[in-house]
Amino acid sequence: MRNRKFPIVAILSLFLSATVSSQPSAFVSTRGSAFEVNGKPYYFVGTNYWYGTLLGLENDKKRGLGRLRKELDFLKSQGVTNLRLLGGAEGSGLINGVVRVGPPLQPTPGQFNDDVLKGLDIVLAEMGKRGMKGIVFISNNWEWSGGFQQYLIWNGLVPKDQETRKLTWDEQRDIVSKFYGCAKCKESYNAHLSRLVDRKNTVTGKKYADDAAIMAWELANEPRPMRPYAREDYKAWISDVAALIKSKDKNHLVTIGHEGSIGTESLELFEQVHADKNVDYLAIHIWAKNWGWFSGDKIAEGFPNVIQKASDYIAQHIPVAKRLNKPLVIEEFGLPRDGHSFDPAGSTEYRDKYFAKILSYIGNQPGGESAIGGANFWAFGGTARPIKGQVFWKAGDEYMGDPPMEEQGLNTIFDSDKSTWLVLSSTARAIRGR
């Protein structure tokens, strides 16, 4: 009897093992210009939640892990299940006139504080419990997390008088454009990247490369060549880094973190960098205020122009995605409250209309080709609130969606913004059946 039973058990075990291993993966993949999960279309309403990776590091559990869990539960209840997260900051102290976010993953060049990544471990573990997906950006074109400017400072390519003071736009362009030609800067960036991609989560025990809570690795937040002379080095850097990530992690998507043609000052260059075989999908960002689509605080007066410009910008990039046969994500978009108010109690009539317009593009292109797979609004502020009488963030304040160089409350969506959440949740419900 024993000899007869053993083969049956062994065969059954092999069958079950084969069945489990043949199940479709829960990782996000692409099929042409659409995303998929488990072989089914994946469309999403998402948010920028960059500080989510820092909350688990708070000593005060109410401000930290308690807040994180409460906010993730809230987002899940609203159907917002795709979160764009900061991978890790570089350096500390003043840069470009502001105190950056932190604590840093890389406090000094080549030296890493792995304890900082416990914050990313925690948020990914909590997201996994809720079936959420994350886009993790590795570094930053802008100073508020250190980013490219910090690598250049470490390598002596920033004049001493420009290391901490507020820079002019031309000074900032001149400095950051040097990153792509700085071999030592790129080596330090690659070490930073490897610290993230090679990580094993201390909470779940999973390697990041095996964690389906991660949707994609993103090269940086809004990497721009900054100056025309840097374009060839910029293209080479994107290609090299995308290939490096793919050599380490076969499971996750790779994207650049792009703003679109405004970021490169060239639609042709935007298409060229996204044509790379290791770049899985395209992204654009839309900034009506920063790009001067309305004047001053006159949002109501300028609103028709805002809608027209945003529609034109999206329409400009959809054909690129279709030519490349890759999905497109509207990865950042935001608008201040009516009258440019920072008060959480202020009206959001025009913001709500703007959000409804942007979100209407998800999966709804002429001809039935769903090039736009999702949209992440900027930005979720959760339970935090601006401090009365204080315009800008200070070290020790709770994080919200607006980074330190911006007025707190400028583009943040708080959990109390009921009319905006109605727009977001209704879109999330509508796209579930697509």
pLDDT in tens, 212-269: 999 999 999 999 999 999 999 999 999 999 999 999 999 999 999 999 999 999 999 9
CB of 280 within 8 A of CB of 251? no
Tens of pLDDT along 358-381?
A: 999 998 755 555 689 999 999 999
What is the per-residue pLDDT for 21?
A: 34
**Which one-letter DSSP state was computed for residue 399?**
P
Report the alpha-carbon angle 258-260-265, nearest 5.
110
Per-residue pLDDT tens digits of the chain, which is 434 residues long: 333 333 333 333 333 333 333 344 599 999 999 999 999 999 999 999 999 999 999 999 999 999 999 999 999 999 999 999 999 999 999 999 999 999 999 999 999 999 999 999 999 999 999 999 999 999 999 999 999 999 999 999 999 999 999 999 999 999 999 999 999 999 999 999 999 999 999 999 999 999 999 999 999 999 999 999 999 999 999 999 999 999 999 999 999 999 999 999 999 999 999 999 999 999 999 999 999 999 999 999 999 999 999 999 999 999 999 999 999 999 999 999 999 999 999 999 999 999 999 999 998 755 555 689 999 999 999 999 999 999 999 999 999 999 999 999 999 999 999 999 999 999 999 998 65
What is the per-residue pLDDT for 9?
A: 33
Q: Which of 373, 220, 364, 369 is nearest to 282 (CA)?
A: 373
What is the per-residue pLDDT for 200?
A: 98
What is the per-residue pLDDT for 432?
A: 83
The whole-model pTM stands at 0.93
Spell out the domains of the chain, with CATH numbers in brackets.
42-431 (3.20.20.80)
**Can you spell out the DSSP letters for 250-295?**
SSSEEE-----HHHHT-HHHHHHHHTSTT---EEEEEETTTTTSS-
Burial class (CB in 10 A: 0-12, 13-18, 19+), 180: buried
Cα dihedral sign, 220-222-224-226:
negative
Tens of pLDDT along 125-151?
A: 999 999 999 999 999 999 999 999 999
Amino acid sitting at position 360:
S
